[in-house]
Copies of this chain bind each other. A is one copy, B any other.
């Protein structure tokens, strides 16, 4: 195996930072119409935000080291991957006050296609009790979806991984720390084979503390048009589907289909227990009404056992979007997830690895193929759709 070609674009410890970077087939003496470009935005809400645009020739996407290695937007053969948020980002984390509006400030920076939520906590804001610096249990107010998406990476590199085809790889390291705080290192790797319709995420989370930690990680994968539209569907293999709350109960009969942009629409969310193959692998897909466009997420239930569906088919200007959210647990308040025994426990120095693939289909054959896969997974068990919130998954149910 040949040595990968590798470029370090930022390394805080080494005081290394590259403002502009460009790599393409020509500069590497290779073939193809691919490129990797790094730049730094100036001015406005994005001042100081680093972008890395990866284009494999067919699929392109933008990685945001400054926003916790999130994936901002992408495009595959002209199909947009992501959504039009009311937020005009990417927003620099220094302008996001996570504690705004009772812990909802995350929403003033939220416009990515794929956002990691976590790592100490994710999900709904709310009080939690943690030991303070003196070891005394103290109430803290956790903010929506935690800190990781608003922390800049400390080390970023780009590589070309040999293979057939070769892969473009971006790897970044983000630290979520503080004295007497939980301490996590996220090594986030995203790669895409040249010419492929997909990208692969491999994340390694390490508990840096000398003591055990609780950890939560959710991938908030957000899609609008052209995949989301009236009659679009979420296709899953599930043993359980449950409404989050009374508002979700209203739409339980049509939870897997979507409306046109609907001004005043109030979000609906559903909790899933998905079915996977013998190795735990599953796939969930958002497909358009005609069934000739789809965006599919592949992940492993042994790593990411929970799945949430977020429906927010409001007006275009209010963020017409659905979120497909594989996670270590459900995005309820952390205290509830603790009570249910779903928080991950990480030993000192322990590492938790997750994989998530996103693939795009632009024809009926591709969509049908994934649907057939999902149908096979569904054969293992009945799909139980609860008509009311389930106490195991919804506080107060």
Q: Looking at the assembled complex, report how far the CB atom of A225 sits from the nearest CB atom of chain B, in whole angstroms.
A: 15
**Which residues between 40 and 59 of chain A lie within 8 Å of chain B, taking CB atoms?**
41-48, 50
CB < 8 Å: which of B105, B132, B245, B267 contacts A104? B132
**CB contact under 8 A between A316 and B210, given known A45-B151, A88-B175, A107-B181:** yes
- A88-B12 in contact (CB<8A): yes
Q: Is A78 among interface residues, defined by CB-CB distance under 8 A?
A: no
CB < 8 Å: which of B92, B155, B211, B247 contacts A94? B92
**CB contact under 8 A between A43 and B50, given known A132-B104, A210-B263, A211-B264:** yes
CB < 8 Å: which of B45, B107, B209 contacts A152? B45
**CB contact under 8 A between A154 and B97, given known A86-B178, A267-B133, A318-B210:** no
Q: Looking at the assembled complex, report how far the CB atom of A224 sits from the nearest CB atom of chain B, in whole angstroms.
A: 12
**Which residues between 43 and 93 of chain A lie within 8 Å of chain B, taking CB atoms?**
43-48, 50, 65, 85-88, 92-93
Q: Is A102 among interface residues, defined by CB-CB distance under 8 A?
A: yes
**Which residues between 98 and 124 of chain A lie within 8 Å of chain B, taking CB atoms?**
98-102, 104-105, 107-108, 110-111
- B179-A264 in contact (CB<8A): no
Residue of B whose beta carbon sits closest to that of A320: B210
**CB contact under 8 A between A152 and B88, given known A180-B104, A263-B348, A317-B209:** no
- B318-A12 in contact (CB<8A): no
- B101-A100 in contact (CB<8A): no
Chain A to chain B: the 3 pairs with minimum beta-carbon distance, closest first: A210-B315, A210-B263, A94-B94
Residues of chain A at the chain B interface (Cβ within 8 Å)? 10, 12-13, 15, 17, 19, 39, 41-48, 50, 65, 85-88, 92-95, 97-102, 104-105, 107-108, 110-111, 130-135, 138-141, 151-156, 175, 177-181, 183, 208-211, 245, 247, 261, 263-264, 266-267, 314-319, 348-349
12 contacts between A and B (CB under 8 A): A12-B44, A15-B39, A44-B153, A45-B175, A88-B175, A101-B181, A110-B178, A134-B267, A135-B266, A183-B318, A210-B264, A211-B263
